[in-house]
Amino acid sequence: MSGTKGLNRQQMADRVAREFQDGWIVNLGVGIPTMCSNTDIGDRDITYHSENGVIGYGGVAAEGHEDLNLVNAGGQNVTLKPGAAVVHHADSFGVIRGGHIDATVMGAYQVSMTGDFANWKLKGQKGGGIGGAMDLAACARRVFIILEHVTRDGSARLVTACDLPVTARGVVTLVATNYGLFEPTRTGFLLREIAPGLTVDEIRATTGGMLTVTHGLREISISG
Amino acid sequence: MSGTKGLNRQQMADRVAREFQDGWIVNLGVGIPTMCSNTDIGDRDITYHSENGVIGYGGVAAEGHEDLNLVNAGGQNVTLKPGAAVVHHADSFGVIRGGHIDATVMGAYQVSMTGDFANWKLKGQKGGGIGGAMDLAACARRVFIILEHVTRDGSARLVTACDLPVTARGVVTLVATNYGLFEPTRTGFLLREIAPGLTVDEIRATTGGMLTVTHGLREISISG
Amino acid sequence: MTQKTKLRSSFAEAVADIPDGSTIAFGGFAMPGTPFNLIKALMDQGAKRLTLVANTTGGAQQPRMPDIGMLVENGQVAKVICAFTAATRPTDKLPFTPYYESGEVEAELVPQGTLAERMRAAGAGIPAFYTPTAVGTELAEGRETRVINGREYLLEYALPLDYAFIRARTADTAGNLRFHRSQRNFGPVMATAARVTIAEIDEPIIAAGGIDPDDVHTAGIYVHRLVQVPPAPDGLWPTKRQERKR
Amino acid sequence: MTQKTKLRSSFAEAVADIPDGSTIAFGGFAMPGTPFNLIKALMDQGAKRLTLVANTTGGAQQPRMPDIGMLVENGQVAKVICAFTAATRPTDKLPFTPYYESGEVEAELVPQGTLAERMRAAGAGIPAFYTPTAVGTELAEGRETRVINGREYLLEYALPLDYAFIRARTADTAGNLRFHRSQRNFGPVMATAARVTIAEIDEPIIAAGGIDPDDVHTAGIYVHRLVQVPPAPDGLWPTKRQERKR
């Protein structure tokens, strides 16, 4: 993976999880987003929802204590927190489509400076893997994206306009990469925080589209 | 009430209940239709559904044994049969709208020879009482109507065309009145069975629209 | 768990902040599931120009319990969305009916299944849907229909709510609910459609986790305020239905 | 009770009459709720030109269990309607993917929530509905959209099924079902959309009335055939998920 600079995967997840507010209902996508549930969020009460109808799941089950009929969206055997509830798939997407998810965290191939993103299909591919991503992208109150800042061959993933088929348009609220924390705005990507060891010039050189930098730019705290 | 001739209310209900086939799911409307659940249907297994989400209710609860949180569509405290299930209102009308009700039995003010019927609003009335009647009328597989053959002032309730606002059009499968059993057909009402003590001439004189009589017309058996 | 508690110590407290002009749905089909205590508190609270949503406006049965009709008589109601503006039996008179007939209060008459589905749609993010119900009737006049696979359907829109007042048997502190028998009816549907759901609860409220996750009827994410119903006569409870004299 | 029993003594018997050309949905999200035993029986039964509906075509995980991919390899499938024609990780290869890419099998790619809602609509008599999902994407190209309250929505149609294969924890002889935890997923939705629902059941099937009416997840009216899953190795059961080697 190309993420040798800046934050590692758990640190990206940690930074996004710090955005979660007390009482939020959050859906975590497969991959790095799942790692948000490892983040210590102190005394904030967050309810994790997964597409298969589990509302209020906890950490991954300990070896030998798995319930084989209880998985999160990534198919991992998880536990339940007190106060959890299970609903069927249509009701679960009722939670999503009805606007009851405060934030969804997803991976992506590309994010555009206007808040489009692409995560279901490669260029020229026939078909793809949509899963619940389009529902979540279109309907969650906030869409947080976590992705490596550049591709394996060094090209930008934060772009002026996606050239991959998009998952939804104009929905991305916040982007965490290994290089920094970004917000799509009407004037392009706003760099809100920078990863330790990175410079604004490095980020500018590897970011497509316009880039503005917040006043008093701070480093991302990686203590948690 | 005008039903001094022919069948009484329970006998009308009994005649309709005899149409129910083993395994059917049946919705009974308020009033005379409810009395179908008093009919001895032998060893046929009928599941009664009510709009408020009770699937598989039984008779009215014995005095002193009522569950005050369990009512049928008419608000009576009923019992449950083994194998009953309760669902919420949207799911309950999913049962209805989805075509899962084999037969609904309703009262009406008028039925037309083309299978329209009217049961929610009087002439000139502002508003009315629809309840679940329009959903049931439009979506049940069979619509059975029970009504007195003539109004208090002696005019026909089986008519060429309803002059009251209709509940649904072209949906009525079978009509039981105190005078007989009728089927709306393309050639008008078909008299299928006649109540004891009535003559075809009396029926013809009190029925609007065209009337045809089945070959080998039989009396309605009132033994049950 | 720092999330603010959902427990409220009184019905008055639970409805105190409801502003004039709100859209409020009341659960209930006949007595079961009707939030009598919250409706009573809303009468005392006095919010005006309300749009109320329920199966019926109430008052067809004795003894009379708090219902939409009483809120109408109290001058609090601008509009009612329901499946009955009049009783099923024309000889029964609903207290609400004369207010509607005189034009003092507006009403939107909706088939019961369409009413439930419009709230389900609001909760599930479906802005509009097609239904066979009411096609060919006065209710469909002048409205948009569409032929799909050879059958005609009516377009219906979601019905979002500001508040839902519902009644359940059991609740935990996370807001998870269980209903008893036909107490369920509109409750779970209205809860999903409302910005704020207020539930009156028959039994003492238990700790989160006290209801098995497989046995929850309405998930706690949909329920915002809980009030336990005190024993009668302080609390109002369903009674046996008595036929009105004809 | 003369109604014909819903109990079937084998998976082979439960699927014996399924004709060529049927539309069949399989419950399941990852392992939980997947009707492995019925899928295996369908492979032995041999029905052809099937349209299969499921969240995914399977085969991304080890150990591999009976899945749509195997039915495709078996030459039984004309079309698949699902949320994944390819794996989430581009480096994973689904067994189904090459058949789709070569055009040998047709596929309709549907967002997961839309897939669930289309079946819910079929079961609930809603022929079509609007959804915000997929607006502005390739999936919406050339399709009908509508602006409602200032937002654009896509028109989606109901997806009725001939058969639903589902798996539950508990059943009574009336066909009432209970699911355990995330075993529930698509099961209750598919059951409402199908003409014939066939359920494989983890536990011994109990007498009607053995499940409290308040605790039923899927009402028996939606379930037509029940088969109890025998212990392994005769019966197939979920196992712990093992990551595929990358």
Is residue D244 predicted with pLDDT exceeding 60? no
Please give the angle made by the CA atoms of A140, C50 and C28, to the nearest 5 degrees: 75
What pLDDT, on the 0 to 100 scale, is given for residue C244?
A: 47
Q: Mind telling me the catalytic residues of A?
A: 51
Cα→Cα distances B40→B17, B20, B27, B46, D99, Å: 9, 11, 17, 11, 58
Tell if the CB–CB gap between C129 and D125 is shorter than 8 Å. Answer: no
Q: Judge whether C3 is closer than 8 Å to chain B, CB to CB.
A: no
pLDDT at B38: 87
The answer to whether D107 contacts A67, with C-beta atoms less than 8 Å apart, is no
Q: Which chains touch C (3 or more CB pairs under 8 A)?
A: A, B, D
**In this structure, what CATH number is given to the domain that contains residue C181?**
3.40.1080.10
For D30, nearest residue in chain A (alpha carbons) = A75
Domain assignment of residue C145, yes or no: no
Residue D3 is nearest to which of B22, B81, B87, comparing CB atoms? B22
Which of the other chains make 3 or more beta carbon contacts under 8 angstroms with chain B?
C, D
Question: Which residues, given as ranges, of chain A have pLDDT below 70?
Answer: 1-3, 223-224
Q: How many CB atoms lie within 10 A of CB A4?
A: 8
pLDDT on residue B198: 97
Report d(CA A67, CA D57) in Å as an integer: 23
pLDDT tens digits for range C127-143: 999 999 999 999 999 99
Contact D233, D241 (CB under 8 A): no
Residue type, C195: R
**Backbone phi, then psi, for A15, in 5-degree steps?**
-65, -40
**Cβ contact B67–C181 (<8 Å):** yes
CB contact under 8 A, C149 and D127: yes
Question: A114-128: per-residue pLDDT in tens?
Answer: 999 999 999 889 999
Residue C38's domain comprises: 11-127+158-245
Q: Of A31, A69, A135, which has the smallest distance from its Cβ to D111's Cβ?
A: A135
pLDDT score at B224: 46
> Which residue is it, tokens 């399709």?
D143
Residue C146 lies in a domain: no
- Count of residues in chain A: 224
Beta carbons within 10 angstroms of residue A173's beta carbon: 16
Contact C148/D128, CB-based, under 8 Å? yes
pLDDT given for residue A2 in this prediction: 43
Determine which one of B51, B193, B202, B219 is catalytic: B51
pLDDT in tens, A12-26: 999 999 999 999 999
Contact A212, A189 (CB under 8 A): yes
Sheet architecture: strand order including A158-159: A117-118, A110-112, A158-159
Rounded distance, CA B208 to CA C184, Å? 43
**β-strands C170-171, C177-178: how paired?**
antiparallel
Name the DSSP class of B35: G
Minimal-distance CA residue of chain D relative to B42:
D1
Residues of D in contact with C189 (CB under 8 A): none
Q: Does any domain span residue A129?
A: yes
| Average pLDDT taken over every residue of chain C | 95
pLDDT beneath 70: ranges in chain B:
1-3, 223-224
Q: Write out the two tokens for D228.
A: 């109890």
Rounded Cα–Cα distance for residues B8 and A216 (Å): 88
Neighbours of B210 (CB within 10 A): 14
Residue range of the domain that includes B160: 9-179
Any idea what the CATH number is for the domain that residue A40 is in?
3.40.1080.10
Could you write out the DSSP letters of every residue in chain C? --SPP-B-S-HHHHHTTPPTT-EEEE--SSSTT--HHHHHHHHHH---SEEEE-SB---SSBS--S-HHHHHHTT-EEEEEESBSS-SSTTS--TTHHHHHTTSSEEEE--HHHHHHHHHHHHTT--EEEESTTTTSGGGTTS-EEEETTEEEEEEE---EEEEEEEESEEBTT--EE--GGG-TTHHHHHHHEEEEEEEESS--B-TTSS-GGG-SB-GGG--EEEEPPSTTTS------BPPP-
Within-domain flag for A1? no
Size of chain B, expressed as the number of residues it contains? 224
Sign of dihedral through CA atoms C80, C86, C87, C88?
negative
Q: Which of D181, D213, D214 sits opposite C178 (nearest CB)?
A: D214
Query: Which residues in chain C (102-141) have CB-CB distances under 8 A to chain A?
Result: 120, 122-126
Angle between helices A89-97 and D112-123 (to 10 degrees): 120
Is there a domain that residue C35 lies in?
yes
Q: Domain total for chain A?
A: 1
In this complex, the residue of A68, A129, A168 whose CB is nearest that of residue D88 is A129
Structure ipTM over 0.85, yes or no: yes
Nearest to D58 by CA among D21, D37, D29: D29
Evaluate whether residue D139 is within a structural domain: no
> Does A58 reside within a domain?
yes
How far apart (Å, rounded) are the C-alpha atoms in residues A57 and C119?
27
Question: Alpha carbon of D35 to those of D38, D80, D116: distances in Å?
Answer: 6, 17, 17
Of C127, C130, C181, the CB nearest to D128: C130
Question: Residue D221 and residue B100: Cβ atoms within 8 Å?
Answer: yes
Interface of C with D (CB under 8 A): 117, 121, 124-132, 146, 148-149, 151, 153, 157, 178-181, 184, 213-215, 217
Asked whether the predicted pLDDT for residue C57 surpasses 80, the reply is yes
Q: Has residue B107 been placed in a domain? A: yes
- Residue B51 among the catalytic residues: yes
* Cβ contact D154:D134 at 8 Å: yes
The shortest C-alpha distance from B79 to chain D (Å) reads 12
CB pairs under 8 A between B and D: 71
Let me know if residue D136 belongs to a domain.
Answer: no
Per-residue model confidence (pLDDT) at position D242: 66
- Report the candidate in B146, B210, B143, B148 with the shortest Cα–Cα distance to residue B172: B143
Task: Kindly report the average pLDDT of chain D as a whole number.
Answer: 95
Q: Is A52 close to D109, i.e. CB distance below 8 A?
A: no
pLDDT in tens, C209-235: 999 999 999 999 999 999 999 999 999
CB contact under 8 A, A52 and D87: no
Domain count, chain C: 1
**A196 within some domain:** no
Contact A69 D110 (CB under 8 A): no
- The first and second tokens of residue A167, run together, are 């998952």
Tell me: pLDDT of D2 over 80.
Answer: no
